[in-house]
Amino acid sequence: AGGDIFLGINDNGEIVGVDEEAIDSIKKDFVTTINNPQKFSPPLYLNIETVEIENKRVLHIHVPMSQSVHSLNGKIYDRNNDSDINITGQNANIAKLYLFKQDTHTEDKIFPYATMDDFDLELIKRIRIVASNRRTDTHPWEGLDDFELLKSSGLYKVDKTTNKEGFTLGAILLFGKDETIVNALPHHKTDLILRKVNLDRYDDREITTTNLIDSYYKMMEFAKKHLNDPFYLEGDIRISLRDKIFREAVANSLIHREYSSAYVAKMIIEKERVVFENANIPYSYGELNPSNFTPYPKNPNIAKVFREIGFADELGSGVKNLYKYSKTYGGRDPIIVEGEIFKIEVKTIEQDINGGINGGINGGINELYNFIKENEGLSAVVLGEKLNTPLRTVQRWVKQLKDEDKIVYKGSKKTGGYFAN
């Protein structure tokens, strides 16, 4: 997956430097070795630079991710965490490595005999409207017929090496009729599971085998059905933490999934966490670090359509949003692990879904109480406007806070307001 090599830094991260008199010979030997087809096949083309750190010389080689599979001394290795695994002669693993390296994506597989009759034209019409409504100017899709819309989105291709042309797997997954999807990809499905009480089986379960757009809606509805949405203000605007977080997690599960794998994708809602799992072609292994991770497009044409209709943002921003909101939602950063199975784990906190007071003040009442502490003297009407909350809800919360002796009303009925005790 590429990386960086530093000569002159020991395993403990200490800068020990390289003997200055040996630098030229090290560079010469390095370049000769990586260009020797008996050693590396195909040969590598890398630069080696001298860097001065703390008055010591360090040699740096940046190794970009290659589109080729390289052998060393006639053997092929696969990097897994800190191990180099010899997969020479293992045809399945070598084929998987070539799939990982190839320029094309699984979504680009061409189905030459698919026609417009295989697509849900009402869905295309609906999505065209959704995309148009998100723009203040005219969306390019508005002037295109259905075929041109799919072609302009990279969902109809011509393979210049074979001259084969047709609709792609991405087109079928996004806009295909259910029977078309089953014929093209029989193993396609997402398992939605609620497992809070019955830990051996499940409390609720749905299996979606439909197109990716309706799958997105079904997954979001499942999340809304079974997950709380605590009151939250961003600035002075109320937003849905639940929708912000799971919009990103659901979109990620659908966009970056490796669809050639028969591994069943899952969204599992448990008592204190939600876990997403899907097949993946990893570009690295292990838990992602949001401060220095590099996003790679897994299915860029599917991602493009999702961005056009507002299901996703630009590459990489979804992970940042997950980290931005998850800690507020569940008290902990999300755990995102890249491997052949991609996993996202979001912590949740069980609350009374009606926002009542449990051992203190929870949910929306807590937000109202904090807002009153910072903005004393406001009436229930003004509080409702500021918090974008119905007046009846505010009045109910105010009564509970007064009963708890958390707040008090001061002043006349017309000009008075609420103050924290």
Report DSSP letters for 72-100, one per residue.
ETTB-EEEETTEEEE-TT-HHHHHHHHHH
Give me the pLDDT at residue 388, please: 77
> Which sequence spans correspond to the domains of the chain?
3-100, 106-184, 190-347, 363-420
Decide which of 199 and 231 is more confident. 199
Pick the residue with more confidence: 153 or 414? 153
CB 326, CB 147: distance < 8 Å: no
| The predicted structure's pLDDT at residue 40 | 86
Give the fold, CATH level 3, of 190-347. Answer: Heat Shock Protein 90 (3.30.565)
Q: Which of 226, 229, 261 is nearest to 100 (CA)?
A: 261
Task: Decide: 107 and 134 in contact? Cβ < 8 Å.
Answer: no
d(CA 112, CA 106): 15
Q: How far is CA 124 from CA 111, 226, 256, in A?
A: 19, 30, 22
> Model confidence over 3-30: pLDDT tens digits?
789 999 998 899 999 999 999 999 999 9
Give the whole-angstrom CA distance, residue 282 versus residue 298.
Answer: 9
- May I ask the CATH architecture of the domain 363-420? Orthogonal Bundle (1.10)
Q: Does 228 or 192 have the greater pLDDT score?
A: 192
Q: Among 30-34, 245-249, 312-316, whose mean pLDDT is lowest?
A: 312-316
For residue 54, give the 3-state DSSP assignment.
Answer: coil
Structure tokens at 243: 């929708």
Would you place residue 102 in the very low, low, confident or very high pLDDT band (cuts 50, 70, 90)?
A: low
Encode pLDDT of 234-272 as tens digits. Answer: 877 888 999 999 999 999 999 999 998 889 999 999 999
Q: CA 284 to CA 292: how far, in whole Å?
A: 13
- Identical fold, 3-100 and 363-420: no
For 135-161, how does the pLDDT look when each residue is reduced to its tens digit (9 = 90+)? Answer: 888 899 999 999 999 999 999 999 877
Percent of the chain whose predicted confidence (pLDDT) is above 70 = 92
The structural architecture, per CATH, of the domain 3-100 is 2-Layer Sandwich (3.30)
Average pLDDT over the chain, rounded to whole? 87
Is residue 297 predicted with pLDDT exceeding 90?
no
The residue ranking higher by pLDDT, 145 or 315, is 145
Q: Where are the beta strands (DSSP E) in 184-314?
A: 190-195, 204-208, 233-234, 237-238, 265-270, 273-279, 286-287
Model confidence at 63: pLDDT above 90: no
pTM of this prediction exceeds 0.85: no
- How far CA 111 is from CA of 5, 76, 282, in Å, comes to 43, 32, 26
pLDDT confidence bin for 357, thresholds 50/70/90: very low
Residue 172, pLDDT score: 98
Q: Which amino acid is at 16?
A: V
β-bridge mates for residue 279, sequence order: 341
Q: How confident is the model at residue 359 (pLDDT cuts 50, 70, 90)?
A: very low
